[in-house]
Structure 1
């Protein structure tokens, strides 16, 4: 018994060694194959210029579970050739686990898939899984303005090249100067800060409806008196005094995102949607909207404050239950398209104007995010990098 057992053990050793060698060779080959595949992907990705070229037509995105908000924002990002120009120059993460959790890389793969095939729509499954790992869940009613900020911050955080981070910030970041002045003395505080969207109220302080986008902009930059319970402590007076709070525009980016605050929060914690009529222009010139006292920029900077409307993220339904779609103008074709999840069709400017809203259609479609593109770009504001840490 012992001898037979010993022969059997001796016979197994060469087989075991051979098996280990084969496994090692297989692993080496697998690593080589993975490296080749990664290089091939890198070569393909460097040739991606953006869905806005529309080489294969406008491509939709399937709804994966209340993902209409995510789909609309992805289309706005990927139809922007300035954004995709940055995206296609990212550093590809070295290992599979990092690639699965990297939002910019997964967006780039989705962009490639949208351009490669002839399908009318693709499934953003891998990107959705990646975002879920970063607590951007499916089957949740997202707010488009909040989700835009989360996506942008994830993209910026996971970009490894400093120059790309700076380009991304220059592309989207707004710079304003906040000003507080004591009404009893000459004490004042000035502070530059940055934001990714202009959050414009659609009602004034008396709950009266603002009639146009230009009215909303003027109201946002209009000085506010801080009195009563809102008084501030003045270091020079040594007590709380009335202050005048104002905001001045310093720098506007290539891609300007305006958030129309159509969801109203009441004291009862009930949220309702403001669906009233609010027109917005195709061409927006801030020099014709804001006064000199509402701007803090030189003439060269203000000369670039002329914009064309690029996209509208529209919401239909109520504050608690609704649906998003995106109207986007191709930067190459100059044609408008409606991206409604997997359904994409060409539309007219009159169709886009239907998102102005209507007082009697509370469940109707209304513009929620407006994205404007600068007509005449200029060099970024030199002090912008100092403000970015405050985002």
Structure 2
């Protein structure tokens, strides 16, 4: 920073005129001021890119007006240490306008604000205004599954470093292989696709209630026969025939997101909520849930399909009027917390189980999004080895 320019060798001790002494003192003071300014900038960057994850206090988010859905999802993102480690390495936009419209950057600033402040809650105003520039409406009721997809797509699109985009995909995306086979001949079409969430039904095709999360997973991956109006054209048969459609798991991410399809459409085009009980486990081993025919993965891949529940986004109320909150297990102290906008409190597993649902209590909280995190006993993440 120019501190070495014009310096004299100390051992020579030359005689210096008074004016030169004054100029030297001014230069030294300027260098000191410059050093202080650099240190201050470095400290500010450190607070954004490093120290934020070291504080264990849970901070709430003020409701800006029907922003409970956004608040709940932001808490799930920012309480995930694996996600914040990606977020801290983003490229900071160069201009003020770019920074205002950058969702990753505004989310990073919110993380700093939450972790470095002394308030029990902060307002996500700047991030909300940023999202409005990307056609995410404010002051309206959002669907948590749709808003989660929107936020993730914006994060992926605006992260400039390819390696961060790849890490973000590895953290959240599910790889599926779809099989469509003609039942008249051996013709079969295979195609791979990625999904952010698994949209799990809570009712079967006959509107019977599925009893557990494991039942929903098995039903989602069950083969389905395409008959009648759903028949497909077979290139070998030269006509429409009955096909068997099935999906198989190829790869699961570090954070597995399950979407319980609690909202369904009636014939009257009205949406209603399915509030019946659907228990979900704290620990989920997909190898024990799915059959061999429902998987298309190597044994080394399937060996990592052991998960532990990390967060639950729950909805209370009806399909047209409701409220969201998030139950999250801290990766630093392994305790469950309820994030209800600005209010944050420690809860028990029994409190989380209250989100299973109840047939006769339509306004009660029911789990809508489930976030499971991979267990890595051989290579634990720093700071969370005791939890996972």
| TM-score calculated relative to the size of structure 1 | 0.85
Question: Could you list the per-position Cα deviations for residues 81-108 of structure 1 after superposition, in whole angstroms to 9, with x for gaps in the alignment?
Answer: 0000000000000010000000000000
How far off is 1:376 after superposition?
Answer: 2.2
Distance 1:234 1:35 in 2: 68
Whether the aligned pair in 2 keeps the contact of 1:304 and 1:377 (CA below 8 Å) is no
Question: 3-state SS of the aligned residue for 2:94?
Answer: coil
Unpaired stretches in structure 1, ≥5 consecutive residues: 1-33, 380-391
Query: CA separation of 1:203/1:259 partners in 2, compared to 1, >3 Å: closer, same or farther?
Result: same
Q: Is the 8 A contact 1:48 1:88 kept in 2?
A: no
Which residue is equivalent to 1:225?
A: 225
Higher helix share: 1
Instruction: Count residues in correspondence.
Output: 343
Select 1:42's aligned residue among 41, 45, 62: 45
How big is the shift at 1:268?
A: 1.6
Alignment partner of 1:80 is 2:80: yes
Distance 1:374 1:49 in 2: 23
Does 1:119 find its partner at 2:119?
A: yes
Q: Which moved more, 1:180-189 or 1:36-45?
A: 36-45
Distance 1:155 1:300 in 2: 30
Q: Residues 301 and 360 (structure 1 numbering): CA distance in 2 closer, same or farther, change over 3 Å?
A: same
User: Distance between the aligned counterparts of 1:267 and 1:241, measured in 2?
Assistant: 29
The answer to whether structure 1 residue 199 and structure 2 residue 199 are counterparts is yes
CA distance in 1, matches of 2:348, 2:231: 50
Secondary structure at the residue paired with 1:281?
coil
- Are the counterparts in 1 of residues 52 and 111 from structure 2 also a CA contact under 8 Å? no
Please give the residue correspondences for 1:186-335 in structure 2 after superposition, counting only pairs within 5 Å.
186-335=186-335
Superposed counterparts of 1:64-103, under 5 Å = 64-103=64-103
| Alpha-carbon shift at residue 47 of structure 1 (Å) | 1.6
Question: Taking structure 1 as reference, are residues 280 and 54 closer, same or farther at Cα in structure 2, changes over 3 Å only?
Answer: farther
Q: What does residue 23 of structure 2 align with?
A: none
TM norm structure 2: 0.86
What corresponds to 2:372 in structure 1?
372
Look up the SS of the partner of 2:309 in the other structure.
Answer: strand
1:165 equivalent to 2:165? Answer: yes
Question: Please, what is the CA RMSD of the aligned residues?
Answer: 1.7
Measure, in 1, the Cα distance between the counterparts of 2:131 and 2:41: 22
Q: Deviations over 1:188-226 (max 9, x none)?
A: 000011000000010000000000000000000000000
Please, which runs of 5 or more residues in structure 2 have no aligned partner? 1-36, 380-388
Question: Which residue number in structure 2 is paired with residue 7 of structure 1?
Answer: none
Deviation (angstroms), 1:266: 1.6
Shift of 1:45: 1.6
Write the distance in 1 (CA, Å) between the matches of 2:59 and 2:123: 11
Kindly indicate whether the alpha-carbon contact (under 8 Å) linking 1:49 and 1:81 is maintained by their aligned counterparts in 2: no
